[in-house]
Amino acid sequence: MSGPDFAVSKTGTTQANGRHDVGAAGSVLREPTGPTVPLNRLAPEAALRRLELTVVRRLEGFLQGDHLGLLPGPGSDLNDARIYVPGQDDVRRMDWAVTARTTVPHVRDTMADRELEVWALLDATPSMNWGTAGVTKRDLGIAAIATLGFISQKMGDRFGGMVMHSDSVKRFPARSGRQALYGLLGKLLDDPIERDNQPATLGLPEGIEALIRTQRRRGMRVVVSDFLDPGDQELDPKAPPSWERPLRRLAVRNQVLCVEVVDAGEMEFPDVGELLIRDPETDFARFVNTSDVRARKMIDRAAAAQRERVAAAMRRAGVGHIRLQTDRDWVNDIARFVLTYRQTAAVLHQPPQGVTK
């Protein structure tokens, strides 16, 4: 897919106040004050029209839609044959083949075609307000939500959003149509950016729990986060992260996509001399000599192990996993994911035993 490179920052241009625009890199020093990417550059709507997000799980809904529903109803997909009930069933739906073989009048049921309801959970804790390239992780997450939203826009499909802060979860109701999606994205971008080191009462597990609790109808769920527990030191891929269990529960009834947002500075520890490193969420503050090659290698190895652990937890939970990086073109990455997802989705989203697909 050859679209415009949306992740390229405007580095090198000069702002009105005479200072060089450094993209989101200022977030390395202090929390950003606003979104680092404007609404009109979140996703190329026109280019995404030909992509389609495969929906393999059956849906519940009220309206006629384009996706396979869970319950019988007017639709295009054939279901079981059942005995004709005079006065209730339409004779035009008679299944003559079955009737002839059984000598009892049968009708053929269809599964209802339902609309898709997508809910996206955006992690907006302080660790997401960070980025060394053009955009912060939070804004990259919003861009991912925008891209997935435009891809999943079919007739009547609804898109809702939840924003998780460290003390509350904000909910933006699901509505259908591209204007509503633009409205949601605008609200996500304008959502106030959290200050550092606020007392945290919520983590990603609680955010996912909130998503499970408030949205009971089946559909698609998108969880956008960096999937980092503040201060987590565990590297063993077999040790489940704190968010794995809620994610499993979410995946029981929903088709879940996890968008893991990372930054190049997290994959490759920067060489910036000896300086104080502090965490925007925990009280960690330590002088680290980042010019030490051995130390950087060790940190990079540990970071890779941690990413591997995140990926392993997502495989165990049976959710789709998209990894986006702030210095790369997210539209390209998501498009690639969607193309391979066509083949893998059915296997990936196998529901647990005893749960209807």
Partner 1 sequence: MTGDTTQVWLWEFFNPERLWALLVLPVLVIAYILLLRLKRNRGMRYTQTGIVGAVLPRQSQWRRHVSVAMALCSLAAITGAWARPAGTEQVPRERATVVLVLDLSQSMQATDIDPTRLDASKQAAKDFIAQLPASYDIALVALSGNSRVLAQPTNDRGMINRYIDALTLEDGTHIGDALMAALDAIAHAPGEPGEDPAPGMVIMLSDGSNTGGEVSPEQAAANAREQGVVVNTIAFGTLNGYVDLDGQRYNVAPDTEALQQIAAATGGAAVDAKSASQLNNAYDQMRSDVTYEDVKKEVTARWALYALAFAFVASLGAVSMAARWP
Q: Footprint of partner 1 on this chain (CB under 8 A)?
A: 27-31, 127, 130, 196, 226, 228-233, 235, 263, 265-266, 269, 272, 274-280, 282, 284-289, 295, 298-299, 302-303, 306
C-alpha–C-alpha distance, residues 290 and 303, integer Å: 15
- In angstroms, give the least distance from the CB of 299 to partner 1: 5
- In angstroms, give the least distance from the CB of 8 to partner 1: 23
Nearer to partner 1, 95 or 260 (CB): 260
C-alpha–C-alpha distance, residues 345 and 48, integer Å: 19
Nearer to partner 1, 130 or 150 (CB): 130
Q: How far apart are the first and last CA of the chain?
A: 32
- In angstroms, give the least distance from the CB of 128 to partner 1: 8
- At 301, list the tokens: 């190895």
b/e for 232-262, b at 16 or more Cβ within 10 A? eeeeebeebbebbebbbebbebbbbbbbbbb
Sequence-distant (6+) residues with CB within 8 A of 293 are none
- In angstroms, give the least distance from the CB of 210 to partner 1: 22
- In angstroms, give the least distance from the CB of 213 to partner 1: 28
Contact 265, 132 (CB under 8 A): yes
Nearer to partner 1, 198 or 282 (CB): 282
Nearer to partner 1, 148 or 310 (CB): 310
What residues pair up with 170 in beta bridges, in sequence order?
Answer: 163
Nearer to partner 1, 129 or 147 (CB): 129
Sequence-distant (6+) residues with CB within 8 A of 205 are 242, 243, 245, 246
Nearer to partner 1, 40 or 233 (CB): 233
C-alpha–C-alpha distance, residues 23 and 240, integer Å: 35
C-alpha–C-alpha distance, residues 130 and 28, integer Å: 6
Determine how β-strand 274-278 pairs with β-strand 285-289: antiparallel
- In angstroms, give the least distance from the CB of 274 to partner 1: 6
Helix runs in the chain, H state only: 96-102, 137-151, 178-190, 204-214, 244-253, 264-267, 293-317, 330-348
Q: SS3 of 81, please? A: strand
- In angstroms, give the least distance from the CB of 248 to partner 1: 23
What residues pair up with 224 in beta bridges, in sequence order?
Answer: 122, 259
Determine how β-strand 117-123 pairs with β-strand 158-164: parallel
- In angstroms, give the least distance from the CB of 204 to partner 1: 13
- In angstroms, give the least distance from the CB of 261 to partner 1: 10
C-alpha–C-alpha distance, residues 144 and 133, integer Å: 16
C-alpha–C-alpha distance, residues 72 and 111, integer Å: 4
Nearer to partner 1, 133 or 338 (CB): 133
Nearer to partner 1, 200 or 299 (CB): 299
- In angstroms, give the least distance from the CB of 195 to partner 1: 11
Nearer to partner 1, 143 or 310 (CB): 310
Nearer to partner 1, 29 or 347 (CB): 29
